[in-house]
Amino acid sequence: MPELDAIDRKILALLQTDSRLTMQELADKVGLSVSPCHRRVKLLEERGVISRYVATVDQKALGLHVSVFISIKLARQKEEDLNRFARAISKWDEVLECYLMTGNRDYLLRVVAADLASYETFLKTKLTRLDGIASIESSFALSQVKYSIALPV
Amino acid sequence: MPELDAIDRKILALLQTDSRLTMQELADKVGLSVSPCHRRVKLLEERGVISRYVATVDQKALGLHVSVFISIKLARQKEEDLNRFARAISKWDEVLECYLMTGNRDYLLRVVAADLASYETFLKTKLTRLDGIASIESSFALSQVKYSIALPV
DNA sequence: GCCAATATTGGGATAGTTTACCAATTGAAC
DNA sequence: GTTCAATTGGTAAACTATCCCAATATTGGC
């Protein structure tokens, strides 16, 4: 696995911000001509450094006004319990993020919903129906101060 | 602001997963020909429903092995204090997400770092140097169980 | 420090994609 | 059932990605 040099990192920074740049524009910005720039991008894709290209959608435009962080403790933390939990939440589109945590909770989830009523529906019809959950604690976000997909390079 | 119909939502779902689909492929998948499909995508862009196109980068490939959630309380919560805090964290690339929260903390941040040492540097040279912070509590993620950018449509 | 081997770069040609225009079709209101 | 407005589909032109090959730069050995 070869290292990422300064130009690779610049390419990543730019594509994380705007993947619709043409190769010509990207090449100009990183100080290469189109061919080597193109080759570098393809290599970054093949090596899995660039994993995908996506459109980002405005949460308010979709009417998703509620963002909730949920702390979850499981009754048991055996590997099988963890895997079962991970499989379940992976299926649910409302769950955008889920982390296995250190400290006094097992999981931290970020969930979005249209309003409190549909969040309640999510809780009642999905999350609380899972076996092996010891406790659930919801924390509501008043506003999104910052949201970025761009990892520091 | 016209409503999003079923085809618009299908377009959004597909582009949130893969924005590199050609108009031909996208049109086939939603059951339109290229022209109307292209017109709909452009409208979604103009109306801000699609906000941008980005490449997603693999966190491990960049060597960013540490993900931390930070709970922060401010000494005061006047609008000016909140704005000052928001401006500061917005500048820092390590902070990927920041939410103003209800409950017993003011902010929840998601921060990434290469290792514990560089996280410590972030804390010491940036976060703890801010004025007006009453408390900071770090919660470490052991692993990312789910991470999605695709909002439910 | 020089040379050979290797990797990287740049330009040009081609295939593929986006985009704009216009006619045809569909749907809705009266 | 007819008219008007909105949406659709096809075609052509402009733009972009992609591949190939020659030229240039970099690295390692001596």
pLDDT per residue of chain A (153 residues) written in tens, 0 to 9 = 678 999 999 999 999 999 999 999 999 999 999 999 999 999 999 999 999 999 999 999 999 999 999 999 999 999 999 999 999 999 999 999 999 999 999 999 999 999 999 999 999 999 999 999 999 999 999 999 999 999 999
CB < 8 Å from B in window 11-40 of A: 12, 15-20
Specify the pLDDT at position A1.
61
Mean pLDDT, residues B78-95 taken together: 96
CA distances from A24 to A31, A36, A45, A76, B21 (A): 10, 11, 18, 55, 20
How much is the pTM? 0.91
In contact, B105 and A137? CB cutoff 8 Å: no
Q: Is the pLDDT of residue B9 over 70?
A: yes
The protein footprint on chain D, as nucleotides within 7 A of a CB, is 7-11, 15-21
B142 and A101 in contact by Cβ < 8 A? yes
Structural domains of chain B in order of their starting residue, each with its CATH number: 6-47 (1.10.10.10), 59-141 (3.30.70.920)
Q: Is the pLDDT of residue B22 over 90?
A: yes
Q: Is the pLDDT of residue B133 over 80?
A: yes
Both tokens of A116, joined, read: 């409190």
Both tokens of A23, joined, read: 């190769």
Q: Within 13 A of A13's CA, how many CA atoms are on the CB side?
A: 12
Using C1' positions and the CA of B25, the closest nucleotide is C17
Q: Is the pLDDT of residue B138 over 90?
A: yes
Cβ of B123 less than 7 A from strand C: no
**Residue A49: its chain B contacts at CB < 8 A?**
57-58, 61-62
